[in-house]
Amino acid sequence: MRSMRQKARAAISDVADEWAARLQCLQLTVVEQADFMAWLRQSPVHVEEYLKSETALFALDGFARQDSTEITSLLENAQGNVRELGLPSMDGGSDVPPAPRRQWHLPWIVATAAAIVIVIAVVLCWSHLVPASSYATEVGEQLHTVLPDGSSVDLNTRSKVEVHYTADSRDIRLTHGEALFSVAKDGRRPFRVINRDAVVRAIGTQFNVLQQQNRTTITVLDGRVAIAARKSTASMGALRQEMLVAAGHRAQVATDEIHQDVQLAPERAIAWKDHRLIFENETIGNVIAEFNRYNRRQIMLDDPALAGQRIDGVFDAEKPQNLIAFLRHNTGARIREVQ
């Protein structure tokens, strides 16, 4: 049976894991950053556990950090020198005797200072070195933008990305919708696209990412990308093993699994740039959902049993009436439009 101190240490470790994941996934607001720093200042144990979590997270993500050796050495030196905080008992007692008072020696003071410097550097790296910028489109809009490194992003309708560049990374979070990425080569700074389902990593390539209700589809037009699935049930997502996908292939990430399709014509994935929607063996439910991203008038299917039926077709994204006529004629579906 674990002691109160062991349970407390495990709880601190859990919180550290979440902070590390949140920093990794670029989801901290200014208020949350202040909360993070306040949490670190509560105890040297918090600093130590955060450094362990951050090192482990970067190792899982497959990226070598220049300071990994220094962090490991720092943690080894800090072992046994961390001063535990007093823990109040829930029932007025304790299952372990009070910890003996320890003297703060110079090596621990230096180690703690170095740890805090590293942690502050991480926060600054994510939130202050290069301010985040975002780009979004409304219904029926498309947007082309060139990023600071020469890479470019083409946003489809109802889409949004958040751009976070630092001295050693290029991260873009696709919050919703679809985007085509043309990546400028920079071997020193990995280029990653992060969304609800996946992390897509590239160095110099072109690929399209579409986030739908039940999956994310990545189509590679040029070069190669490495795709890692993320746990949809975890608060910030845990990275899994990467899958390499080459030009001319498509991968779909759903339910924390990656499925790679057979070779296809990549230009079909970006037909949206010409306002064309191409469907092959796609469910009627997904076809209607895709059309609804492009138009303010929404198509509603009154036959739920038909939602899983599959169809093929090429349609004008701005003419939903053509889809409605097709479905009524070929399936007898009862369909209506709502504003």
3-state secondary structure string, 80-132?
A: CCCCCCCCCCCCCCCCCCCCCCCCCCHHHHHHHHHHHHHHHHHHHHHHCCCCC
DSSP code of residue 207: E
- pLDDT at residue number 104: 45
Residues paired with 117 in a beta bridge: none
Amino acid at 133: S
Domain boundaries, the chain: 4-127, 133-267, 275-338
Token reading at 64: 């070598």
3-class DSSP assignment, residue 238: coil
Contact of 303 with 295, CB cutoff 8 Å = no
Per residue in 109-150, pLDDT tens? 445 555 555 555 555 444 444 446 899 999 989 999 999 899
Per residue in 259-280, pLDDT tens? 887 677 777 889 999 999 999 8
- pLDDT at residue number 273: 93
Q: Calculate the alpha carbon distances from 239 to 165, 274, 280 in Å.
A: 20, 35, 30
DSSP code of residue 115: H
Helix axes 106-127, 4-24, angle to 10 degrees: 30
Instruction: Indicate whether 237 pLDDT > 50.
Output: no
Token reading at 227: 């795709």
Cα separation, 225 vs 244, in Å, equals 6
Looking at CATH, the fold of the domain delimited by 133-267 is given as Jelly Rolls (2.60.120)
Contact of 126 with 145, CB cutoff 8 Å = no
Q: Calculate the alpha carbon distances from 280 to 35, 270, 331 in Å.
A: 48, 14, 16
Instruction: Indicate whether 64 pLDDT > 60.
Output: no
Q: HSE, CB side, 13 Å, CA atoms: give it for residue 132.
A: 18
Q: Which residue has the higher pLDDT, 235 or 122?
A: 122
- pLDDT at residue number 142: 96
Q: Which residue has the higher pLDDT, 223 or 255?
A: 223
- pLDDT at residue number 230: 76
- pLDDT at residue number 84: 44
